[in-house]
C-alpha cells in the first residue's frame, strides 16, 4: 500500500500541474468566446444581432423567420452566464475548493475527486480527449474519416457548438438517464428529492449499479447514433467517438452530477472552438486550417498527456481498492 501511495504521490505532481494549466485555459476561453461573438468579424455579413428565428434550426417550423426580438447574441449571453455560474460552482464545490483538493493530492496521494467538481471535470475531459484521439487513430488506419457538419458561417457554427452542450446534456443525461434512475432506485416521491437526484444522481445511494451501467451504455450508443442519423450531421466515423463520449458523460453524470457532465461537454465544444476561432482570426485563416495550427496542436498534446496520467491514476486506484477488499476478506 505504501508503494501504491508513493506512485500516486509521484503521479500527483504532474497531474495537479496539468489540471491547473487546463483550468487556466478553460477560464481564459470565457473572454475569448465573448470576443469571437461580439467583437470579431467571423460572421462575415452577419453579426451577433442576427435574428434567432432566422437560423436553419427553425427551418420547417412556424417560428422560422418569425418576427421575434431575440438575437443569437442575446441567447449566447444567457448561455455564457449559465456556463460561467456552473464553472464557479465547480471550482469551489461541492465540498472543497480546487486548490485544497489538489494540495491533498500532492501531500498525501489522496485522489478524492468527488470533493471538487473541477478536479473531476479536468480529469475526465482529458481522458475523453485521449479516448477520442485513439478511436480516431484506429478508424483512420482503416480508412474511416470523421467529417464534421460545417456551417457556411463560422459565427453560426460557434453559436451551435455553444448551445449543443446545454440541449444535449438536458436531453440525454437529465431526461434519458436521470429520470429512469430515479424511477428504478428511488423510494421517495418528494419533488425536492427528485430535483436533487436529477442534479446529483449519486444521492440515490445505488446499492446495485448494474442497471444504471446498462442504462448509461444504452443512452451512450443512442447518443452516438444521434450524431450521424440526421441530414447534414457528422459522417459515420463520428459514431464510435460520440458513443464513447456519451458513455463517459453518462458515467460522469452518475458519479459527479449534472455540473460535471455539462461542463465537460462544454469544454469539448465551446472551449475547443473558442481557441480555434481565435487562432483563425489572429492568423487570417479558416477554422479548419486553425485546427492544424501549432497552438491547437499544443493544446491537444497537453490534454493527451493529462489523459494518459489521469488514466494511469485510475488504474492505480483500482488496484488499491481491490487490494483493500482482499485484505478485508
| 158/109: higher pLDDT | 158
Question: What are the tens digits of pLDDT across the range 255-288?
Answer: 899 999 999 999 999 999 999 999 999 888 888 8
Question: What are the tens digits of pLDDT across the range 167-188?
Answer: 999 999 999 999 999 988 887 7
What is the per-residue DSSP string for 60-127?
A: TSTTTT---S-BHHHHHHHHHHHHHHHHHHHHH-BSS-HHHHHHHHHHH----GGGBHHHHHHHHHHH
| 58/84: higher pLDDT | 84
Reported confidence tier of residue 291, pLDDT bands at 50, 70, 90:
confident
Angstrom distance (rounded) from CA 170 to CA 177 = 10
What is the per-residue DSSP string for 254-265?
A: HHH-HHHHHHHH
Range 51-57, long-range pairs (CB < 8 A, 24+ positions): 55/156, 55/159, 57/160
Question: What are the tens digits of pLDDT across the range 205-243?
Answer: 777 788 899 999 999 999 988 888 765 566 677 888 889
Q: Give residue 23's pLDDT.
A: 93
Length of the chain: 329
Question: What are the tens digits of pLDDT across the range 117-160?
Answer: 898 899 999 999 999 999 988 988 888 777 776 667 889 999 99
| 30/139: higher pLDDT | 30
Angstrom distance (rounded) from CA 301 to CA 31 = 23
Residues 56-63, mean pLDDT to the nearest whole number: 77
Angstrom distance (rounded) from CA 170 to CA 103 = 33
Amino acid at each position: 500500500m505504501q508503494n501504491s501511495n508513493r506512485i500516486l504521490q509521484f503521479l500527483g505532481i504532474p497531474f495537479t500541474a496539468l489540471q491547473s494549466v487546463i483550468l487556466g485555459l478553460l477560464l481564459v476561453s470565457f473572454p475569448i468566446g465573448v470576443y469571437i461573438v461580439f467583437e470579431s468579424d467571423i460572421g462575415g455579413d452577419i453579426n451577433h444581432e442576427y435574428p434567432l428565428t432566422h437560423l436553419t434550426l427553425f427551418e420547417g417550423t412556424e417560428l422560422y423567420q418569425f418576427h421575434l426580438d431575440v438575437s443569437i447574441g442575446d441567447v449566447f449571453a444567457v448561455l455564457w452566464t449559465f456556463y460561467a455560474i456552473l464553472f464557479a460552482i465547480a471550482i469551489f464545490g461541492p465540498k472543497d475548493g480546487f486548490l485544497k483538493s489538489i494540495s491533498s493530492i500532492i501531500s498525501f496521494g489522496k485522489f478524492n475527486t468527488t470533493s471538487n467538481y473541477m478536479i473531476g471535470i479536468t480529469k475526465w475531459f482529458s481522458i475523453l480527449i485521449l479516448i477520442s484521439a485513439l478511436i480516431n487513430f484506429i478508424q483512420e488506419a482503416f480508412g474511416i474519416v470523421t467529417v464534421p457538419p460545417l456551417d457556411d458561417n463560422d459565427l453560426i457554427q460557434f453559436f451551435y457548438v455553444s448551445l449543443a452542450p446545454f440541449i444535449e446534456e438536458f436531453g440525454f443525461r437529465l431526461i434519458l438517464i436521470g429520470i429512469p434512475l430515479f424511477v428504478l432506485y428511488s423510494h421517495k416521491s418528494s419533488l425536492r428529492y427528485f430535483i436533487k437526484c436529477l442534479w446529483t444522481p449519486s444521492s440515490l445511494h445505488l446499492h446495485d449499479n448494474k442497471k444504471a451501467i446498462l442504462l448509461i451504455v444504452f443512452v451512450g450508443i443512442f447518443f452516438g447514433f444521434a450524431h450521424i442519423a440526421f441530414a447534414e450531421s457528422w459522417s459515420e466515423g463520428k459514431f464510435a467517438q460520440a458513443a464513447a463520449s456519451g458513455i463517459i458523460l453518462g458515467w460522469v453524470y452518475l458519479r459527479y452530477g449534472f455540473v460535471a457532465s455539462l461542463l465537460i461537454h462544454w469544454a469539448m465544444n465551446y472551449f475547443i472552438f473558442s481557441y480555434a476561432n481565435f487562432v483563425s482570426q489572429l492568423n487570417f485563416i479558416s477554422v479548419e486550417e486553425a485546427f492544424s495550427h501549432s497552438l491547437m496542436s499544443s493544446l491537444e498534446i497537453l490534454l493527451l498527456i493529462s489523459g494518459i496520467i489521469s488514466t494511469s491514476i485510475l488504474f492505480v486506484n483500482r488496484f488499491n481498492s481491490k487490494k483493500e477488499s482482499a485484505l478485508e476478506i
